[in-house]
Amino acid sequence: MGVVSFARGVPAPECLPVSELADCARAAIEADGTSVLSYGPGGGYAPLRAWIAERHGVEPSRVVITSGSLQGFVFLAEQLVHKGSRVLVEAPTYDRPLKILTRLGADIVGLPMDDDGLSIGALERALAEGEKPAFLYTIATFQNPSGRTLSEERRVRVAELAREHDLLVLEDDPYGLVRYEGTALPTIFELEGGTNVAYASSFSKTIAPGVRVGYFVLPPALAAQIEALAVSTYISPPFMTQATVHEFLRRGNFEPNLERVSGLLKARRDAMLDALERHMPDGARWSRPEGGYFIWLDLPEETGDLLARAEEAGVTFVKGTDFFADGGGTKSLRLAFSFVSPDEIAAGVEKLARLLHGAPSPAPAL
C-alpha cells in the first residue's frame, strides 16, 4: 500500500462511468455535431441548459454553465467583489473560494459553525454591523471541508434574512445529490424562491469531475452579466463535454449512476467512521455526514507538525487551517474518504491515530 490520501477530495476511479461516457460523447457529437463543434451561447449548450432550468424551475437564460463551478464562482466574484468588499463565508469553508476572494481584496468575514451548520446569530450580527456584504457563500449540504449540513430550521432563517436584508446568498451545492442515507432537506434556493439566492452545482460528483460541467442558477440580471463575462473570457464553453453530459442524462443514466456512486461512497464513509471510532484518542470529535466526501476531525490539541509526520508515515490529509481566512482550524483536519478504498481508509486512520498523543496502541493483528 502506497501513501493513503485523505487529501484528495475526488471520486475513486471506479466511480467514473468511463465506457458509458465514451459512448455518450460519440453519440452527442454525431447527433448535433455542427452545434457541438462550433461557437455558441456563452451560457452553455442549449439542451443541457434547458434540462437544468427545468430541474430548478427557472428560465434557461438564468442558467450559466461553466467549466466546473469554480469558474462560475470566479466570474461571480469578479462581478460583485471589489477591494474591501465584505463577503460572508462559513468558517471553515472550501479553500479555493477563500483564495479567490483574497486575490480580489475582499474583506472575508467567517461565520462560525456547529454540527447544524453556520451560526444564525453570527450571520445576524454580521448583517447588523458594517457595510452590506457582497454575498454570503454557503455550502449548506455535506460541506467541504466539514461534512456538516445546515439544518432545515436554519435554512429557513437564512432565506428569511436574505429577503429582509436584500442579501445575495450563493448556495454552492455540489454534494447535495450524493446522499446515501437520511432525508434530503430543501435547498435555501427552494425555500427563498431564487430572488436573493443564487444556486450552484456541478456534475463533478454525480458523473465525473473531468467533464468540467458546473452551473449557476442566477437572478436574471446577474445571469446576463455573468454570461457576458463568460463570452468575453472564452467566447463559448466547450459544448462537447456539456453535450456528453446531456446525452448521459437523456439516456436515463443519471439516477442509476448516482445510486451506484452513493453505494461506493457510503462504504468508504462507513469505513472511516468505524476506524475513527476504533482508533481515535479521547477528546477527538468528528462529523458524521450522511453524504458527500468529507469528515472533519477536531483533535484535543494543536495539530502542529502532524501533517509532516503523517506524510512520513504514509498518510496525508489537508490541515484545518487551510479552510479559514483568519487563522482558525489549528486543531482540525479535513479527511476525504472519497478517493481511497475502504481497506486503505482503515489502514490510514490507524496510522494517523498512532501519531496522536494519547492514542491507544494498535490492536494486535489477528
Q: What is the four-CA torsion angle of 155, 157, 158, 161, rounded to 10 degrees?
A: 160
| Least distance (Å) between residue 7 CB and a second copy | 12
Which amino acid does the sequence have at 174?
A: P
3-state secondary structure of 2: coil
Query: Which range in 67-75, 150-158, 248-256, 323-331 contacts a second copy by CB under 8 A?
Result: 67-75
If binding is defined by CB under 8 A, does position 68 make contact with a second copy?
Answer: yes
DSSP string, 159-203: HHHHHHHT--EEEE-SSTT-B-SS-PPPPHHHHH-SSSEEEEEES
- Provide the mask over 242-281, with x wherever binding to a second copy is found by CB under 8 A and - wherever it is not: --x-------------------------------------
| Own/partner pairs, 23-27, CB within 8 angstroms, 24+ separation | 24/244, 24/245, 24/247, 24/248, 24/251, 24/253, 25/240, 25/244, 25/247, 27/247
Q: Which is nearer to a second copy, 70 or 345 (CB)?
A: 70
Return the residues of window 183-212 that contact a second copy according to CB under 8 A. Answer: 208-212
Query: Which range in 25-33, 114-122, 255-263, 311-319 contacts a second copy by CB under 8 A?
Result: 25-33
Q: Beta strands 169-172 and 135-138: pairing type?
A: parallel
**d(Cα 270, Cα 148) in Å, to the nearest integer?**
16
Q: Which is nearer to a second copy, 175 or 189 (CB)?
A: 175
Q: What is the four-CA torsion angle of 167, 44, 233, 200, rounded to 10 degrees?
A: 30
Among residues 4, 7, 21, 76, the one that binds a second copy under rule CB under 8 A: 21
Q: Which of 72, 112, 108, 105 is nearest to 88 (CA)?
A: 108
Among residues 4, 7, 10, 52, the one that binds a second copy under rule CB under 8 A: 10
Q: Which is nearer to a second copy, 35 or 330 (CB)?
A: 35
Among residues 2, 13, 327, 364, the one that binds a second copy under rule CB under 8 A: 13
If binding is defined by CB under 8 A, does position 5 make contact with a second copy?
Answer: no
Return the residues of window 70-99 that contact a second copy according to CB under 8 A. Answer: 70-71, 74, 96, 99
91 sits in which H/E element: strand 86-91
If binding is defined by CB under 8 A, does position 234 make contact with a second copy?
Answer: yes
Question: Residues interacting with a second copy, by CB under 8 A?
Answer: 10-11, 13, 16, 18-19, 21-23, 25-27, 29-30, 33-40, 66-68, 70-71, 74, 96, 99-100, 103, 208-212, 232-241, 244
